[in-house]
Amino acid sequence: MTMQSTVEIEAMPEQPQWARELRESARARFDKIGYPSTADERWRFTNVDAITRIEWAADGPTSDDINLDPFQIPDLDAALAVFIDGQLRADLSDLSGLGEGVVCEPLIEALSRTGVADRLGAQSATLTDGFTALNDASFGSGLYIEVQEGFAAHRPIHVLSLATSGDTPIAAHPRNLIVAGKNARVQVIEHYNAVSDEIVNLNNAVTEVFADEDAFVEHYLLERESERGYNISTLFIRQGARSVVHSHTVLLGGAIVRNNVVPTLAGEKAHCLINGLYVAHNEQHLDNQMRVRHAAPNCESRQYYKGIMNDKSRGVFTGRIIVDKAGQGTDAIQTNRNMLLSDDARVNARPQLEIYADDVKCTHGATTGRVDDEAVFYFRSRGLSEEVARAMLIYAFAAEGFDRMQLAPVRRLLAAEMIAKLPRAEGLSIEV
Amino acid sequence: MTTTEEVARISDERREYKFGFVTDIEQDFAPPGLDESTVRFISSKKNEPAWLLEWRLKAFRKWQAMTEPEWVFLPYGYPPIDYQAISYYAAPKAGPKSLDEVDPKLLETYEKLGIPLSETKTLLGIEGAAESPADARRPVAVDAVFDSVSVKTTFQKELAEAGVIFCPISEAVRDHPELVQKYLGSVVPYSDNYFATLNSAVFSDGSFVYVPKGVKCPMELSTYFRINARNTGQFERTLIIAEEGADVSYLEGCTAPMRDENQLHAAVVELVAMKDATIKYSTIQNWYPGDENGKGGIYNFVTKRGICKGDRARISWTQVETGSAITWKYPSVILQGDDSKGEFYSVALTNLRQQADTGTKMIHIGKNTTSTVVSKGISAGQGQNTYRGLIQMNKGAKNAHNYTQCDSILIGDQCGAHTFPYVDIRNQTATAEHEASTTKIAEDQLFYCTARGISEEDAVSLLVNGFCKEVFSELPMEFAVEANKLLAVSLEGSVG
């Protein structure tokens, strides 16, 4: 992928000077660091050569005739923004019904709004990462979501990115900025999907979340790309005092997927939940990298990530808790549990702590194993077939994460999706 | 428990670092600098056979093409090492043979360090050891390495009767070349990593242990490393081979004088355990740590690795790391034989401005292999303490299991504790569990102790000892007592 094919800064629509500078400095940053290599410790287990070898286009022919029904979340009453191959389709979107005090519009149209200049790139530019720099340089599609002080969005916002272009491999750089003012409340679902499993595409997405004092933000990443597609998603979160942010990630699709979650707890008594599940089969490669920074006193963070790997797939988990000197009274927990379903599957786990304050409680745990034979035996002794017993146990392993999600329709959809992906679980029906 | 009075006494006796003295003795030096002639000089000094010189030169050429690794996590960093400013060989001039011939200054040095080179005394002169009747006069064979050479190995006769070979490695090269040639570099290849390759080129001395089939070594073996000379590096090489069914326990201790400049210690230790053999390797590392501003101290960059070659072999590493300005080492086990077992027990303490990046690697290859990792990190002062470890289960490691626990405590708000484990599982029957926690000393426990009239310093020492107990219980008794004291002294001044 060359910069020319994805970034035409000059060709961007009218934009303020600061946005131009942000792009240009990001471009310089990218020119300097380039794509990550496995020599970079953070990318040690994920080789992106397969992505960089492809000749990506910024856009291509898209079809007008798209049936969105299979990509809706059943029973979910949500505002909907639809991006087809990286381009916003207002005709397919419905951003109404969010209520007073809520702004939800294309990011590119929001650049002159108050506060946007200070926030856009404020978190992403601090990370030395090629893909993030590329997004900083190329941002165009994506939403600006702002909930003003004291307001709550009446409906969740479903941001659906659909890949449809079968002939031209398209690289998109979705960029969202979510701002929750004091005491504000919002739920956002970032959803990546493809119309067929033959599509080769790249979504290199960056979302920055700013949660002011006492705000509540729930963010979902549903990654259901084509199994020939690629997804690099980076979620930055900056939390004010007493704010609560929940991040849920479910990785199901994609050939190579990288999911970065980078929260900074910058205000006292903030709480951050990072909940994730990655389910891989065939030769999928799903990589998760968390970097939770406690920069203020008495904050809490909870990381719960689970992986299920089948066939020749590979799962990667890197979680780092960083506690600054200012982070006295930190209470941080991180767990990563993995289940291998085949002898060719592989998992790399790196649960890490980096602690500079003494009055802290930080723990992490990582386990890897397979379905417990004794539990299977228990089920079989009660008349269940081995297949169903295994499927149920695998499902139960994963289900704990679903319970932390507030939106029941999302939970139900994911449970069904996951079951569909499990081996020999056709006969299994589970009420969620 | 070591009480405050004891600590105060010990510290008063030897203000701060108690082994910081210098022995004034005539020494032979290689001129500072490193090129092929240095390698040839060391080899000729030791009258080495041609194959060993060739091996050293191969390593040296490889080393020239390598660059110093940068991935180590040292928040304070360290100034670049000038490899041309180091002298790679320093030896006391008089080559001693029997105890009577050993330079009295050397005897005095080891006497001061608590290491008896006379076979009538027990190790370290530890009160606890002498008082307990069961263990009184339990002999420990000692190989004393002074800068680049071994000055004395005790109990060689008794060991020879049991069939055990315990001697300086330079002697082994002369007397048992077939064994050395077969095993040297078989676990840590000459090209393994920057510091191991450097060691392969310039290693000076170290210990060699060979325990034949079915023999349980009749006594603890021990090597005491002492850096004395200025501007030298110590590059010792230790090789331990336990044949089928053999059993050996080996201890290692180290000290160095207090100096403002940093000195490099880049050792290599290789362990080979055949079928049903057991090797237990314990280290108490107390190199000079530098001062509270981070000036001086030893760079302890060591490669230690063992291989469980045969079925049911067992290798156990225990380390207590309290010294060195920088400790950078990962005693590892390759679990090749089926049902073999690897263990790693570690206490690492960083005080002053010390930095440690240490841990282990367990590479599971054979079926039903198990490994246990228990790491306790203590950070005080401005110390930065990092655990880094790798658990790898290969495809063939059916039903392999690992349990890892790493706990850290922080004393004071100027220090750091970090944990970077790597888990790499490549088959579904393998299981790995990793747990880690970082906390400060529990205030309720501290309160409980102080409420009962124990001073705060004693209480901290008591709690830290309790925290380390799992590791200390793995140490041979004499060393456990020493480790306890060392910890108390190293912690001194970190409260309040």
Strand partners, A384: none
A337: nearest CA in chain B?
B433
Query: What per-residue confidence (pLDDT) applies to B119?
Result: 56
Residues of A whose CB is below 8 A from B438: 353, 355, 360-363
Q: Which residue has the tokens 């072999």?
A: B313
Q: How confident is the model at residue B122 (pLDDT cuts 50, 70, 90)?
A: very low
8 Å CB contact of A346 and B430: no
**Antiparallel, parallel or unpaired: β B237-242 and B262-265:** unpaired
Helix or strand or coil: residue B80?
Answer: coil
CA distance A300 to A211: 15
Query: In this complex, do A351 and B419 lie within 8 Å of one another by their Cβ atoms?
Result: yes
Cα angle B57, B61, B63 (rounded to 5 degrees) comes to 110
Contact B410 A360 (CB under 8 A): yes
Mean pLDDT confidence for B352-380: 94
**How many CA atoms lie within 13 Å of A36's alpha carbon, on the beta-carbon side?**
20
Kindly state the average pLDDT of the residues A77-95: 94
The number of distinct structural domains making up chain B is 1
Chain CA centroid to CA B96, Å? 26
Residue-wise pLDDT for B260-272, tens only, equals: 778 888 999 999 9
For the cut 90, the answer to whether the pLDDT of residue A271 exceeds it is yes
How many CA atoms does the CB half-sphere of A399 hold within 13 Å? Answer: 13
Ramachandran angles phi, psi of A161, nearest 5°? -110, 120
Q: Å from A324 to nearest chain B CA?
A: 9
* Residue B496 located in a structural domain: no
Q: Does B431 sit within 8 Å of A346, measured CB to CB?
A: no
Looking at residue B66, its amino acid is: M
pLDDT 10s digits, A19-41: 999 999 999 999 999 999 998 88
* Residues in A touching B395 (Cβ below 8 Å): 343-344
Q: pLDDT grade, residue A427 (50/70/90)?
A: low
Tens of pLDDT, residue by residue over B441-473, are 888 888 999 999 998 888 888 888 888 888 888
Asked whether this complex has an ipTM greater than 0.85, the answer is no
Nearest to A343 among B424, B427, B431 (CB): B427
- Residue B123: the pLDDT is 43
Report which of B238, B200, B234 is spatially closest to residue B53, judged by C-alpha positions: B200
Give yes or no for B463 touching A (CB within 8 A): no
Q: Which of residues 374-433 of B touch A (CB under 8 A)?
A: 395, 408, 410-413, 415-433
Is B417 close to A355, i.e. CB distance below 8 A?
A: yes
Q: Which of B349, B295, B357 is nearest to B322 (CA)?
A: B349
User: Given pLDDT bands bounded at 50, 70 and 90, which one contains residue B132?
Assistant: very low
* Mutation for A interface: B419, B441, B494, most A CBs within 10 A: B419
**Residues A287, A259 contacting (CB under 8 angstroms):** yes
* Interchain CB distance below 8 Å, A359 and B418: no
Q: Where are the domains of chain A?
A: 3-267, 371-432
Task: Please state the pTM of the whole predicted model.
Answer: 0.86
Provide the 10 A C-beta neighbour count for residue B45.
Answer: 16
Three-state DSSP class for residue A10: helix
Pairing mode of beta strands B370-379, B355-364: unpaired
Mean pLDDT of B300-328: 93
Share of chain B above pLDDT 70, in %: 83
Q: For residues A202 and A173, what is the distance between their CA atoms, to the nearest angstrom?
A: 8
Please report the residues numbered 196 through 255 in chain B whose beta carbons come closer than 8 angstroms to any beta carbon of chain A: none
Best mutation target among B420, B438, B440, B443 (most A Cβ atoms within 10 Å) is B438
**What would the mean pLDDT of A149-153 be, rounded to a whole number?**
97
Q: A246-276 burial by CB neighbour count: b if 16+ within 10 A, else e?
A: bbbbbbbbbbbbbbbbbbbbbbebbbbbbbb
Name the residue range of residue B164's domain: 4-491
CA B468 to chain CA centroid, Å, is 17
Provide the mean pLDDT of chain B. Answer: 83
Q: Is B352 an interface residue toward A (CB < 8 Å)?
A: no
Taking an 8 Å cut-off on Cβ atoms, the answer to whether A340 and B428 are in contact is yes
Q: Cβ–Cβ of A362/B433 closer than 8 Å?
A: no
pLDDT tens, residue by residue, B165-201:
988 898 899 999 999 999 999 999 999 999 999 999 9
* Structural domain includes residue B288: yes
With 90 as the cut, is the pLDDT of residue A78 above it? yes
| A contacts of B433 (beta carbons < 8 Å) | 365-367
